[in-house]
Amino acid sequence: MTISIIIPVLNEENTISKIVGYLLKTINQELTKELIVVDGGSQDKTIEILKNYPSIKIIHSKKGRSIQMNTGAKNATSQILYFLHCDTFPPQNFDSEIIKKIKNRNLSGCFKMKFDSNHIVLKVSQWFTKFNFHAFRGGDQSLFVEKKLFEKLEGFDENLTIYEDNEFISRLYNNSRFIVIQKSVTTSARKYLKNGIWKLQFHFLMIHIKYKLGVTQKELLKYYKKNIK
């Protein structure tokens, strides 16, 4: 039983070498079979940088995180898929932890999360991620899933440009034993620092409320682009 790590990227020249370098030093090569980076059409030096790592599988895709993640999954050859954002760093021995849970028939799950910032708002927010409730889930916590289950559920909804992680995780909760591993991935607070922590927290809350109220993807994307850098 092995893992395929899938990272969707778009114009990440400032971050991609950090996560790739970290993973190559951290993974257990007997457990993690491949590291797949799915590029959505980067116009910067992302691809040029990736070519410095010959062991990385680079795949080109249409733009859109759900499309990119599905493309990565189709090209993955392992029994377990592990979706990771390029600014999120998993803990030591993450691959052995994932395989242990899968073998115990927890066919999907994530890690709890911490930010690389000590701001009180972010510390409170990250505290909730240790609880196994769908309301506290998000893509920044990373996501692992048995490939057979992923294919059964037909992957991420490519019609979604906002909330694609949460929608798929909701289906996982309904169709599998979803587990939260009590070790932390560390994710960047760069978007919060760029937009303002209180301001971004407010806009994420509004997007969550609008999604629950059935606001269209077009309107959600319009709101996101207007208020979030």
Q: Could you report the per-residue pLDDT of 20-56, keeping only the tens digit for each?
A: 999 999 999 999 999 999 999 999 999 999 999 999 9
- What confidence score (pLDDT) does residue 29 get? 93
CA–CA gap between residue 149 and residue 118 (Å, rounded): 37
CA–CA gap between residue 209 and residue 173 (Å, rounded): 20
Q: Which helix (H) or strand (E) holds 163?
A: none
Look at residue 126 and tell me whether its pLDDT is greater than 90.
yes
- What confidence score (pLDDT) does residue 20 get? 97
HSE value, Cβ hemisphere, 13 Å, CA-based, for 70? 19
Q: What is the pLDDT of residues 1-23, one digit of tens each?
A: 999 999 999 999 999 999 999 99
Q: What is the largest CA-CA distance in the chain?
A: 46
Look at residue 139 and tell me whether its pLDDT is greater than 90.
no
- What confidence score (pLDDT) does residue 217 get? 85
Q: Are 139 and 165 in contact (CB under 8 A)?
A: yes
Q: Across residues 82-88, what is the average pLDDT?
A: 96
**Residues above pLDDT 70, as percent of the chain:** 100
Strand partners, 187: 88, 115
- What confidence score (pLDDT) does residue 77 get? 97
CA 174 vs. chain centroid, Å, equals 19
Sign for the CA dihedral angle at 120, 126, 130, 134 comes to: positive
